[in-house]
Amino acid sequence: MAITVVGSVAYDSIETPAGKRDRCLGGAATYFSLAASFFTDVRVIAVVGEDFGKRQEAVFDKRGIDRRGIERAPGKSFFWQGSYLDNLNEAKTHQTDLNVFASFEPKIPAEYADSEFLFLANIDPVLQRRVREAMPDVKLVAGDTMNYWIKDHREALGEVLKGLDILLINDTETRMLAGNNNLVQAARGVLALGPRTLVVKHGEYGATAFFSDRSFTKKREGQTPHPFRAPALPLEEVVDPTGAGDSFAGGFFGYLASQGELTPAAFRRAMFYGSVMGSFAVERFGTERLQELSRKEIDDRFILFRELTHLD
Ligand code: AMP
């Protein structure tokens, strides 16, 4: 089943303890679609500027990602500059230039209309909502956001949260959104805002899913499932954490979309595939590792994840 994703396609300048990169290909929708493309068909909605080159387009084409919905507009592409010098688990944002995204009016190509899965990757919640409304027939909608939008775009974000089957955000964003420092209470607070299921990403410590009594997995089990945690792989070296969250989301949602039935077991395996894709993303700068990854490496690492946690 195909996924349509809307979100940032960007240039990133990144500094980590391992080094620096200037203006490499980035953006939430970019990481998401590269990761998800190993599992299912992916179609992107975004806007780029005149500075977006053939080399960047080729990254999408090589993975068979449909970029007919990536519009080119006069001006510059989205630009983000961040560093991880104090804490590898959390980016410090130095600059966010929305550029062509500031006046973007998303159009959905007719070829995307039969997508059954929709992912609202990190971008202005007003745009997320417009795309959601333009695709009323999708079967499952998941989404992401970040502190930038939580702080100053609450109202618009609130409207997006009401329509989400699954929200994927990190610990800090969960606490910020709920105004509560205890993770379990904060998760309950976030679920009360609308999403049926919440997946909280803990960076190098994995991810936890919290379910409401409206979660789709509930219908099958007859009761609200307990939270479920997937680990992250302990790595010798984290080169660049940028995009780990989006790659987690891509692996998670891509795997779910590749499954015939949305069972609780498929959901739990999807959490592991999310962790697998996040663990690859951080091994090199930007999207470098995802660009040259193979399905065999993904399957081998999934086995490693099982061995990390299974008792028998
Ligand atoms: P993450 O998975 O959270 O590390 O996401 C990193 C990506 O998010 C980078 O490639 C940035 O281009 C993108 N990004 C940063 N800030 C924003 C923002 N305010 N809206 C949308 N995308 C952003």
Average the pLDDT over 129-148 and give the result.
96
Which residue puts its alpha carbon closest to atom 13 of ligand 1?
27
Q: How confident is the model at residue 310 (pLDDT cuts 50, 70, 90)?
A: confident
Nearest CA to ligand 1 atom 11: 27
Does pTM surpass 0.85?
Answer: yes
Please, which residues have CB within 8 angstroms of residue 209's CB and are 6 or more apart in sequence? 197, 198, 199, 200, 227, 228, 229, 267, 271
Picking from 18-32, 205-219, 258-272, which range would have the lowest pLDDT averaged per residue?
205-219
Residues 42-83 pLDDT 10s:
999 999 999 999 999 999 999 999 999 999 999 999 999 999
Q: Among residues 107, 96, 99, which one has the least CA distance to residue 70?
A: 107
> How far does residue 39's CA lie from ligand 1's centre (Å)?
22
Residue 206 belongs to domain with CATH number: 3.40.1190.20
At residue 260 the predicted structure's pLDDT band, cuts being 50, 70 and 90, is confident
Structure tokens at 86: 């104090």
Report the chain's mean pLDDT, rounded to a whole number. 95
- Ligand 1-lining residues (CB < 6 angstroms): 8, 10, 12, 26-28, 31, 80, 96, 122-123, 146, 148, 242-246
DSSP letter string, 13-71: EEEETTEEEEEEEE-HHHHHHHHHTTTS-EEEEEEE-TT--HHHHHHHHHTT-EEEEEE
Which numbered atom of ligand 1 lies nearest the CA of 11?
12
Token pair of 23 as six digits: 């203006």
pLDDT for 309 equals 86
Beta-carbon count within 10 A of 68 CB: 12
If you average pLDDT over residues 123-144, what whole number do you get?
Answer: 96
Pocket probe mutation, ligand 1, options 123, 146, 150, 284, max atoms within 8 Å of Cβ: 146
Domains contained in the chain, number: 1
Q: Which domain holds residue 268?
A: 2-309
Measured distance CA(243)–CA(25) in Å, rounded: 11
| Closest Cα to atom 12 of ligand 1 | 27
Angle between helices 54-62 and 28-36 (to 10 degrees): 30
Angle at 294 (CA atoms; ends 246, 233), nearest 5 degrees: 55
Please give the average per-residue pLDDT across 255-260, as a whole number: 94
